[in-house]
Chains A and B, each alone.
Chain A
Amino acid sequence: MGGFLIRRAGAALVVLVIASMLVFLGVRAIPGDPAIALGAESRDPALLAQIRHKYLLDRPVPVQYGHWIWLALHGDLGVDQRELSVSHTIVSRLPITLELAALSMLLATLVGIPAGVIAAVRRGKPSDHATTGVALVGLSVPHFWLGLLAIIWFAVDLHWLPAGGYVGWAHPLDNLEHMIMPALVLSAGFSAVLMRQMRSSMLTSLEADYVRTARAKGLSEWRVVGHHALRNSLITVTTVMGLQLGALISGAVVTETVFQIAGFGRLTIEAVNQRDYTLIQGVVLVAAVGYVVANLLVDVVYSLLNPRIRIS
């Protein structure tokens, strides 16, 4: 177990180091003088020289990279065009996106897993076809269009929910009222994937020998499905959850734009549109770190659930 964890963590670390290099070099591949960008488009030679010195832009690239990483490890990602600390901006925006992501994962689990189980148990029957069909549509409808539709129906026509914006946790009910529509929209694709995965792994489990044994022992169908088959199927679903994290981050970018939520995803687009290089660099680095760490956690959970993985 320990060896497996160390190997996995080591691989994740290598990936992160290379990813950070790519981010660093990628931002430097953007045409234009970074000193001017860092100096909020100022052309004052004294200021530019000062910035070049401060950010070591007059030093070789490997030194610059080392310095950047050193500061990043201490939580300093530099300042953006408005002289605001990039780390502070990210830390202030991140909780909003995390709330959105957590809420949609919760909704997706509540919908996707039971739907998959029902479809597998009632394989070939109308309820199976209906759930499978809905899941296929859920996979094919892009988040941002679903978001627009939801706004048209629930905000413009029915006046049930606000069309967008964000209210802090100080007002829990208001917060939920603003978050429920974006979370539902973001969860749609995720629950479709979960449902499909759950269905196919349940079908495999239901044909396994131990399920036949359980039935032969005379256990109730409820216990066979809920206790024996479901448990083993959940292992596969954990991996899918990990693989879907990327889609969740991507979806958050779009969903936050549609619903005008000033979260981390929206920040990414703002940074790109304003060509704010320090901000782009910081945001992409944080996204990559979060993604890799989350995947590592999923691997750990997976190995806890499934001992066979640790041996191979």
Chain B
Amino acid sequence: MSAVADPHGAPIVDPRARRRRLLRKRFLRRPVAVAGLVVVLGFVVVAVFAPWIAPHTSGFTDFDHTLAKPGGRYPLGTDELGHDELSRVIWGARSSMQVGVLATLLAMAIAVPIGMVAGYYRGWIDTVIARATDVLLSFPFVILAVGLAAILGPSLTNATLALGIGSIPAFIRIARGETLALREEDYVPAAIANGATDRTIIFRHILPNMTSTLLVQATLTIPGAIVGEAVLSFLGLGVQPPQTSWGVMLQTAQDYLSQAPRLAIFPGVALVLAVLAFNVFGDGLRDILDPRTTR
């Protein structure tokens, strides 16, 4: 990128560009992780462009062709109400990606500042935050999400909120732990000597140094939230018909397991594929960003 020559003629490569190139090279050496990234991008494209890609709207019904076999007009067949399965799977990707990304962003936006304050100031505020995190972690994730969904009422937005809140404790732990370690780095006293305020140190010096850890945690939180949405919708506590999601489709498929098992297969395959892709991509990302785990 920015290769300028120093007075002696040797090229000085911007260290950031060099690191980026090194990471790209390390990443490309992991075919599984690359495949994961490709599939993730595929799902994102499908989710974003669902209205143009899907042959039908998610509410489309063809009552003359209910439970139709795959083929012809309906490549994946239709369900008990004559919904086109293919379109529903595509629209479902939109719900899943939306919940996965938004819940993760919500959790990060709330948890990272809290965790950083705890790790930076330590003392009583750290004790309070760490204990509160323990309490939140004392509820199993699904119980917490189910409880929150019960309080908020079932809908896509509330499922996102519930799953986002449910993911907060893990992010607080990570942000706190990273801050505890990073505040001991030499650049922190240097910044203090320069007259930097606490806010500058936290956001300009510590936060950029933990982005890779947060990024890895985010890539691994998204699939958790995607499964969480499917579970909540499957239990009737998430997305409500006529809006659709893979969880909703699997819930209705449950009543037709003997007549039309394919109704349970297609959304499930999409769900597993998306989750698997995020997981292998996240694993690969962790491996290249943190050389310690490379074994």
| 0/1 interface trace, chain B 260-295, chain A, CB 8 Å (1 if under) | 010011001001100110011000000000000001
Between A and B, 23 residue pairs with Cβ closer than 8 Å are: A15-B138, A139-B279, A140-B223, A142-B227, A144-B230, A145-B250, A145-B264, A145-B268, A149-B264, A152-B264, A156-B261, A200-B295, A246-B140, A247-B140, A247-B141, A253-B142, A253-B235, A254-B142, A269-B146, A269-B237, A284-B139, A287-B143, A292-B138
CB neighbours (8 Å) of A250 from chain B are 140-143
Pair B264/A249 contact, Cβ less than 8 Å: no
Selecting from A16-24, A52-60, A226-234, the interface stretch reads A16-24
Say yes or no: is A68 at the interface (Cβ < 8 Å to chain B).
no
CB neighbours (8 Å) of B146 from chain A are 253, 268-269, 272
Pair B138/A16 contact, Cβ less than 8 Å: yes
| 0/1 interface trace, chain A 136-161, chain B, CB 8 Å (1 if under) | 11011110110011011000100000
Task: Please pick, from B134, B271, B280, B295, the residue contacting A142 in the complex, using a CB distance under 8 A.
Answer: B271
CB neighbours (8 Å) of A77 from chain B are none
Pair A26/B264 contact, Cβ less than 8 Å: no
Pair A280/B231 contact, Cβ less than 8 Å: no
Nearest-CB residue, chain A, relative to B226: A142
Chain A 261-297 residues near chain B, CB threshold 8 A: 268-269, 272-273, 275, 280, 284, 287-288, 291-292, 295
CB neighbours (8 Å) of B132 from chain A are 18
Chain B 217-264 residues near chain A, CB threshold 8 A: 223, 227, 230-231, 234-237, 250, 253-254, 257-258, 261, 264
Nearest-CB residue, chain A, relative to B231: A254
Say yes or no: is B81 at the interface (Cβ < 8 Å to chain A).
no
Task: State whether A253 and B134 are in contact (beta carbons under 8 Å apart), knowing that A136-B279, A142-B271, A272-B237 are contacts in the complex.
Answer: no
Say yes or no: is B21 at the interface (Cβ < 8 Å to chain A).
no
Pair B268/A148 contact, Cβ less than 8 Å: yes
Q: How far is the CA of A145 from the CA of B253 in the complex (A)?
A: 11
**A-B contact sample (10 more), CB < 8 A, given A19-B139, A287-B139:** A18-B132, A136-B280, A140-B276, A144-B250, A145-B230, A152-B257, A250-B140, A269-B146, A272-B147, A291-B138
Number of interface residues of A (CB under 8 A): 49
Say yes or no: is B151 at the interface (Cβ < 8 Å to chain A).
yes
Nearest-CB residue, chain B, relative to A151: B257
Q: How far is the CA of A2 from the CA of B52 in the complex (A)?
A: 66
Task: Please pick, from B131, B143, B254, the residue contacting A15 in the complex, using a CB distance under 8 A.
Answer: B131
Say yes or no: is B150 at the interface (Cβ < 8 Å to chain A).
yes
Nearest-CB residue, chain A, relative to B273: A140
Task: Please pick, from B135, B138, B257, B276, the residue contacting A137 in the complex, using a CB distance under 8 A.
Answer: B276
Task: State whether A284 and B131 are in contact (beta carbons under 8 Å apart), knowing that A145-B268, A152-B264, A272-B237 are contacts in the complex.
Answer: no
CB neighbours (8 Å) of A183 from chain B are none
